């Protein structure tokens, strides 16, 4: 899993700032080690090398004065679809073989806008059209590059998207008239895919051991499912209702899989004890609900209930709009559930890091971790907070005072100045979990219905 790390340390990639950075005299919200007043942070080779008072700047350092500012670790979004050219390969209930990492879009200006909200890492996910969707990519927001590989967070474990409930049912059951058309069907899709993978592994084992002489056919879908069974891929599952959450945990238990983060999980609060017992984590919205039937019985107190029941919980965006103010979304748990500052901040830093398996490297301000750091004017949990400076690997990627208005990396030579979209992009169907599906179903009878619905609201 971490094989690339060795290479990495030998040849520092070009996106790591080799210049030392010294952030002086700020209020440091470390998240894991309390709040430190009037403290300096020294960054060497893109890593936090020292946290102390009155650090002397090494020669040639870039010194940033943080007097009067709050410093927190870069925000991590455990569920987003930015920086992707494709979100859904919605043609089959199981598409484990596809990987959105093959369609990374470093030119997406949403990456910069996320940085302007202090977000340094996001989990770029496949959509929720399929029960087993594609593999996802954990990306660092190194905006400014044109090379998709520069976005990848080297060393981050592989992840895959699963989805329960209305979306796979609507896409395949209603759309294509195939299973799953019910939540019962969704369960069997999982069982079938895992069992197929077991048989597939046996075929290859037999071949490798010489029991069978002819090579089996190579099947990337089964290969991927087998990797899940071997524990090499973390599952992130789009889910809403309590019953389906329980169902998937049972399926996973039967197949010996124990790594799962439930995404959205609006009814997670109902089964918080079960989630905690399984060791499952939860990544939720702060307050989104009622956009479809399966999220009607939601509560904005979800994150608080889950946290209090011992479930590792994060707050995610699933939206190029929300991703710009996750700090504000986290703060809502103080209105709805009275979480402490540290608990609220953990929801968007160390907890999502744990869910993505990258908490050794990011998610808090600690010596040795990546220098993904945000400087805020005001406390980040205040509605008046304004991110000033965002560093990724010690490199300033957002500077509210110095950046130009127009930050496009790539300019379409045929684009006209007047380009303007009537609809707020955050609120239409192309943007969330169902991105790409409306297009696919354009000719279907209910596409019109979907288009209208999802032009009004989110689509998760």
Footprint of other proteins on 309-338 (CB under 8 A): 309, 320-321, 324-325, 328, 331-332, 334-337
Site for other proteins contains 300 (CB under 8 A): yes
Helix (H) or strand (E) holding 252: helix 242-254
Q: Which of 25, 30, 49, 95 lies at the binding interface for other proteins (CB under 8 A)?
A: 95
Q: In the complex, what is the shortest distance from the CB of residue 189 to other proteins, in angstroms, rounded to a whole number? A: 11
Site for other proteins contains 67 (CB under 8 A): no
**Of 69-77, 108-116, 229-237, 251-259, which part binds other proteins (CB under 8 A)?**
108-116
β-sheet bridge partners, residue 158: 233
State the number of CA atoms in the 13 A half-sphere of 292 facing the CB.
17
Q: In the complex, what is the shortest distance from the CB of residue 323 to other proteins, in angstroms, rounded to a whole number? A: 10
In the stretch 408-447, what mask flags binding to other proteins with x, by CB under 8 A?
x-xxxxxxxxxxxxxxxxxxxxx-----x-xxxxxx-x--
- Pick 55 or 312: Cβ nearer other proteins: 312
Q: In the complex, what is the shortest distance from the CB of residue 307 to other proteins, in angstroms, rounded to a whole number? A: 10
β-strands 69-73, 47-52: how paired? unpaired
Q: Which of 102, 205, 206, 243 lies at the binding interface for other proteins (CB under 8 A)?
A: 102
- Pick 65 or 439: Cβ nearer other proteins: 439
Q: Which of 290, 310, 360, 448 lies at the binding interface for other proteins (CB under 8 A)?
A: 290
Q: Which of 44, 381, 391, 433 lies at the binding interface for other proteins (CB under 8 A)?
A: 381
Q: In the complex, what is the shortest distance from the CB of residue 52 to other proteins, in angstroms, rounded to a whole number? A: 31
How far apart CA 400 and CA 389 sit, in angstroms, is: 6
- DSSP E strands: which ranges in 289-394? 313-315, 373-377, 386-392
- Pick 61 or 301: Cβ nearer other proteins: 301
- Pick 53 or 456: Cβ nearer other proteins: 456
Site for other proteins contains 6 (CB under 8 A): no
Nearest to 398 by CA among 108, 144, 121: 144
Q: In the complex, what is the shortest distance from the CB of residue 165 to other proteins, in angstroms, rounded to a whole number? A: 12
For residue 450, what are its two tokens? 């979907």
Question: How many residues does this entry show for the chain?
Answer: 460
Residues 123-152 interacting with other proteins (rule: CB under 8 A): 134, 146-149
In the stretch 187-216, what mask flags binding to other proteins with x, by CB under 8 A?
--------------------------xxx-
Is the separation of the CB atoms in 353 and 363 below 8 Å? yes
In the stretch 254-273, what mask flags binding to other proteins with x, by CB under 8 A?
---------------xx-xx
- Give the CA angle between residues 79, 5, 394 to the nearest 5°: 65
- Applying CB under 8 A, the site for other proteins has a residue count of 120
In three-state secondary structure terms, 81 is: coil
Contacts of 319 (CB under 8 A, 6+ apart): 80, 426, 431, 432, 458
Site for other proteins contains 60 (CB under 8 A): no
**Of 60-68, 196-204, 299-307, 360-368, which part binds other proteins (CB under 8 A)?**
299-307
For residue 159, what are its two tokens? 């992840």
Is the separation of the CB atoms in 301 and 292 below 8 Å? no
Q: In the complex, what is the shortest distance from the CB of residue 239 to other proteins, in angstroms, rounded to a whole number? A: 17
Residues 333-372 interacting with other proteins (rule: CB under 8 A): 334-337
In three-state secondary structure terms, 454 is: helix
- Pick 25 or 319: Cβ nearer other proteins: 319
- Give the CA angle between residues 9, 13, 17 to the nearest 5°: 95
How far apart CA 199 and CA 460 sit, in angstroms, is: 33
Site for other proteins contains 277 (CB under 8 A): yes
CA dihedral 117, 122, 124, 125 (to 10 degrees): -100
Q: Which of 144, 154, 185, 289 lies at the binding interface for other proteins (CB under 8 A)?
A: 289
Site for other proteins contains 180 (CB under 8 A): no
For residue 448, what are its two tokens? 């019109």
Helix (H) or strand (E) holding 72: strand 69-73
Site for other proteins contains 100 (CB under 8 A): yes
Q: Which of 31, 40, 112, 326 lies at the binding interface for other proteins (CB under 8 A)?
A: 112
In three-state secondary structure terms, 40 is: strand
β-sheet bridge partners, residue 237: 162, 262
What would you report as the CA-atom Rg of the chain, rounded to the nearest whole angstrom?
A: 22
For residue 218, what are its two tokens? 């190579």
């Amino acid at each position: 899993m971490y094989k690339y790390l060795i290479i990495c340390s030998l040849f520092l990639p070009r996106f790591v700032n080799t210049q030392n950075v010294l952030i002086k005299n700020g209020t440091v919200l470390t998240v894991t080690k309390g709040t430190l007043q009037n403290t300096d942070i020294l960054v060497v080779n893109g890593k936090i090398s020292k946290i102390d008072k009155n650090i002397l700047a090494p020669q040639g350092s870039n010194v940033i004065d943080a007097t009067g500012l709050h410093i927190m670790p870069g925000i991590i979004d455990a569920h987003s679809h930015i920086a992707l050219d494709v979100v859904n390969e919605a043609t089959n209930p199981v598409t484990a073989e596809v990987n959105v990492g093959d369609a990374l879009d470093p030119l997406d200006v949403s990456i910069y806008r996320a940085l302007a909200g202090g977000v340094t890492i996001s989990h770029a996910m496949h959509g929720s059209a399929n029960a087993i969707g594609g593999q996802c990519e954990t990306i660092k927001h190194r905006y400014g590059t044109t090379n998709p590989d520069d976005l990848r967070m080297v060393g981050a474990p592989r992840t895959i998207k699963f989805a329960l409930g209305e979306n796979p049912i609507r896409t395949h059951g209603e759309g294509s008239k195939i299973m799953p058309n019910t939540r019962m069907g969704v369960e069997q899709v999982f069982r079938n895919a895992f069992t197929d993978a077991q048989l597939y592994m046996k075929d290859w084992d037999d071949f490798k051991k010489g029991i069978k002489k002819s090579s089996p056919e190579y099947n990337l879908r089964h290969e991927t499912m087998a990797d899940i069974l071997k524990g090499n891929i973390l599952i992130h599952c789009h889910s809403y209702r309590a019953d389906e959450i329980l169902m998937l945990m049972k399926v996973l238990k039967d197949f010996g899989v124990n790594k799962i983060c439930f995404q959205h999980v609006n009814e997670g609060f109902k089964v918080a004890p079960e989630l905690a017992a399984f060791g499952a984590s939860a990544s939720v919205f702060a307050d989104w609900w009622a956009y479809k039937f399966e999220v009607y019985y939601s509560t904005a107190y979800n994150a608080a209930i889950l946290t209090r029941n011992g479930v590792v919980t994060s707050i995610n965006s699933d939206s190029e709009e929300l991703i710009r103010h996750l700090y504000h979304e986290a703060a809502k748990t103080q209105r709805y559930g009275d979480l402490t500052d540290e608990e609220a901040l953990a929801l968007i830093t160390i907890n999502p890091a744990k869910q993505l398996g990258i908490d050794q490297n990011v998610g808090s301000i600690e010596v040795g971790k990546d220098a993904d750091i945000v400087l805020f004017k005001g406390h980040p949990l205040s509605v008046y907070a304004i991110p000033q400076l965002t560093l990724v690997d010690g490199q300033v990627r957002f500077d509210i005072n110095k950046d130009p208005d127009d930050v496009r990396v790539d300019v379409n030579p045929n684009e006209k100045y007047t380009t303007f979209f009537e609809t707020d992009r955050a609120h239409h169907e192309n943007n969330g979990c169902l991105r790409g599906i409306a297009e696919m179903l354009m000719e279907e009878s209910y596409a019109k219905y979907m288009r209208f619905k999802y032009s009004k609201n989110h689509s998760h």
